[in-house]
Amino acid sequence: MESFSLILAIVVVTALAFDFTNGFHDTANAMATTISTGALKPKVAVAMSATLNLVGAFLSVEVANTISKGLVDESGIRPEVIFAALVGAILWNLVTWLVGLPSSSSHALMGGLIGATIASAGTGAVHGDVLVTKVLLPAVAAPIVAGVAAMLATRFSYALSRNADGKAADKGFRVGQIASAGLVSLAHGTNDAQKTMGIITLALIAGGSIAPDSDPPTWVILSAGLAIAMGTYIGGWRIIRTMRT
pLDDT digits (tens, 9 = 90+) for 46-83: 888 889 989 988 988 888 888 888 888 877 688 888 99
The percent of residues above 70 in pLDDT, for the chain, comes to 93
H-only helix segments in 100-165: 105-121, 128-131, 137-161
pLDDT tens profile 18-29: 889 888 767 666
pLDDT band at 244 (very low <50, low <70, confident <90, very high): low
Question: How much is the pLDDT for 134?
Answer: 86
Nearest Cα neighbor of 15 from 207, 196, 220 is: 196
What residue spans define the domains of the chain? 6-127+165-244
pTM of the predicted protein model: 0.82
Alpha-carbon span 245 to 241, nearest angstrom: 6
Mean pLDDT, rounded, for 91-112:
82
The rounded mean pLDDT for the chain is 84
Give SS3 for 125: helix
Give residue 71's pLDDT. 85
Contact 93, 225 (CB under 8 A): no
CA dihedral 230→69→67→210, nearest 10 degrees, is 30
Q: 181 vs 244, which has greater pLDDT?
A: 181
pLDDT of 2 reads: 52
Q: Give the model's pLDDT for residue 181.
A: 85
CA angle 55, 59, 62 (to 5 degrees): 135
Q: Does 1 score more than 60 pLDDT?
A: no
The pLDDT of residue 219: 93
